[in-house]
Amino acid sequence: MASPVTGRTAALSLQLSQAHRELRRRLANVRTALGRRHLPDDALLTHCLAFCTTLTNHHQGEDEGLFAALLRERPDLAPTVAALVEDHGLITGILTRVRELTDEAATRPHADLAAIGRELDGLAAVMESHFRYEERAIAAALDAGVQGPDTWREPVLRFRAPKEP
């Protein structure tokens, strides 16, 4: 029998959706700045790279924290977690391309930033689909009453410095 949804379970689900909302906001800011080019190129590229690092950090934290903890308690979630981790890999590929393009743009004055914009547009679409699925799937698992948030000794949604690819 599933345990009831607790305050910590609801808080963890809320924390996940808040993190996603903040990542959406940051990406929108980078895309807007890129489209308007109202910042000096070096500042724009710094914002872009900072966003890439933040998103990578978030996904690594999920993979090593939340997903690992959920799988210990709910091995039946393995296919769902595998799909989410696969998405993380796809997103990492896009972020790698964005980093490559920003590195190129940093070394070439008056570089065409449109290629970065196209990658960010694609990233936004993939992120939105991924975040919606993740929020539904993980919230459903938490709402089904995983023991986790009340019994997990370690924080499961933490941010840390990203590992090098």
pLDDT at residue 3, as a whole number? 46
Q: Any idea what the Cα angle at residue 163 is, between residues 158 and 165, rounded to 5°?
A: 135
Rounded CA separation 89/28 (Å): 21
Residue 6, classed as helix, strand or coil, is coil
> What pLDDT, on a 0 to 100 scale, did the predictor assign at position 112?
72
Q: What is the pLDDT along the chain (165 residues), one digit of tens a residue?
A: 344 445 566 677 788 889 999 999 999 988 888 877 655 567 777 888 889 999 999 999 899 888 888 888 889 899 999 999 999 999 999 999 998 888 888 787 677 778 888 999 999 999 999 999 999 998 878 777 655 544 555 555 555 554 554
Q: List the helix and strand counts (H, then E) for the chain.
A: 6, 0
DSSP calls for 26-58: HHHHHHHHHHHT-S-HHHHHHHHHHHHHHHHHH
What architecture does CATH give domain 7-151? Up-down Bundle (1.20)
Asked if residue 146 lies in contact with residue 107, where contact means CB atoms within 8 angstroms, the answer is no
* C-beta of residue 120 within 8 angstroms of C-beta of residue 30: yes
Q: Quick one: pLDDT at residue 124?
A: 96
Domain parsing of the chain, residue ranges:
7-151
